[in-house]
Amino acid sequence: MFNSIRRKLLAIYSDVSCAIARWKYQNNLPGLERSDRLILDALKRDGVYLTTLADLGLDSTTNLLKAAYQQLSQMEAANNEHLDEKWPQICTVTDLPEISAWATEKRLLNIIENYIGLPITFHGVHLRKDFPSENQFGTLLWHSDAEDRRIIKIFIYLNDVAENTGPFEYIPRSLTPSFSWKYLRLYYKLWQSRYMGINDEQVKAVIPKSAWKSCPGPAGTVIFVDTKNVLHHGTVRTEERSSLFFCYTANPPERPELCAQYWDDTFARPEFSPSLQPVEIPS
């Protein structure tokens, strides 16, 4: 009992210290152009902003896509046809300079720093294949991530994503303000699951399906999301989906051990950087 109380008091102290640090740092936040402030405002309101690589217009996009599609073509075929639960195939591509160059574009970092409100760190990138599934498990369950108090992850679709491809789906944060009754009900269910995730039926009991926000889109769709403070999941699918996942937190994050997967050997890593030979990029 004593240890439990002590842990809770330390957690409260840590959260208060972080809030004070964020308040002190606000005058050091970089300036933003009007278009980028629209991204920031959407993140503050709902925790998600949907756009495209073309609309972002970053100079490093072409090299990013060449490297991503070349590495995607080199991933081994998954031997999972016999499995009921087909877990995603993940490759850590943080070491590929063409991908990291896009991830650390100053414009992106400025937007993310303004949202997190503290000096930030870029942890890395996963190249990910998600496979067809009839049932919810893993990240197909509704969940929130735990690396930090505020997290920005950027998802980029590498193929067209429609309903049958399993688009990203979320509950807008404006529908569940912190410590509102809906918020408490949802996160109590999540706590009951030991933060492993809850299914559609459990969410429907609190937030009607009509209020859920699905994010289909063509290849090149970009999703900014605070995966800590937005309840989200990938939806069940009948077709494979390929995407890039970028991860950013405050520096240091609350739980650095959870961020190591973006640069350590948890997942396969390319043995060498792609030479940027011509590859087919979906239009």
Q: Are residues 2 and 113 in the same domain?
A: no
Question: Domain range for residue 25?
Answer: 1-30
Does residue 272 have a pLDDT over 70? Answer: no
Report angle CA 174, 180, 183 to the nearest 5 degrees: 75
Q: How many domains does the chain have?
A: 2
| Between residues 78 and 191, the one the model is more confident about | 191
Q: Which residue has tokens 């989200």?
A: 232
Does residue 125 have a pLDDT over 60? Answer: yes
The residue type found at 37 is R
Beta bridge partners of 268: 91
- The arithmetic mean of pLDDT across residues 259-283, rounded, is 68
User: Residue 6: pLDDT band by 50, 70, 90 thresholds?
Assistant: confident
Q: Are residues 22 and 86 in the same domain?
A: no
What is the pLDDT of the chain when averaged over all its residues?
Answer: 93
Question: pLDDT of 17-63, one tens digit each?
Answer: 999 999 999 999 999 999 999 999 999 999 999 999 999 999 999 99
CATH number of 148's domain: 2.60.120.620
The answer to whether residue 277 sits within a structural domain is no
- The arithmetic mean of pLDDT across residues 137-153, rounded, is 97
Q: Are residues 148 and 121 in the same domain?
A: yes
Q: Are residues 98 and 188 in the same domain?
A: yes
Q: Are residues 12 and 94 in the same domain?
A: no
Does residue 10 have a pLDDT over 80? Answer: no
CA 9: distance to chain centroid? 29
pLDDT of residue 283: 41
pLDDT of residue 232: 98
Is residue 103 within 8 Å of residue 239, measured between CB atoms?
Answer: no
Q: Are residues 200 and 245 in the same domain?
A: yes
The tokens for 253 are: 């994050």
The residue type found at 152 is I
DSSP E strand boundaries for the chain? 48-52, 89-92, 120-130, 151-157, 168-170, 213-215, 221-225, 232-234, 241-250
In 3D space, the residue among 128, 165, 142 whose CA is nearest the CA of residue 261 turns out to be 128
Q: Are residues 25 and 114 in the same domain?
A: no
The tokens for 30 are: 């970089």
Question: pLDDT of 212-232, one tens digit each?
Answer: 999 999 999 999 999 999 999
Question: pLDDT of 63-75, one tens digit each?
Answer: 999 999 999 999 9
pTM score over 0.85: yes
Q: Are residues 143 and 169 in the same domain?
A: yes
Does residue 207 have a pLDDT over 90? Answer: yes
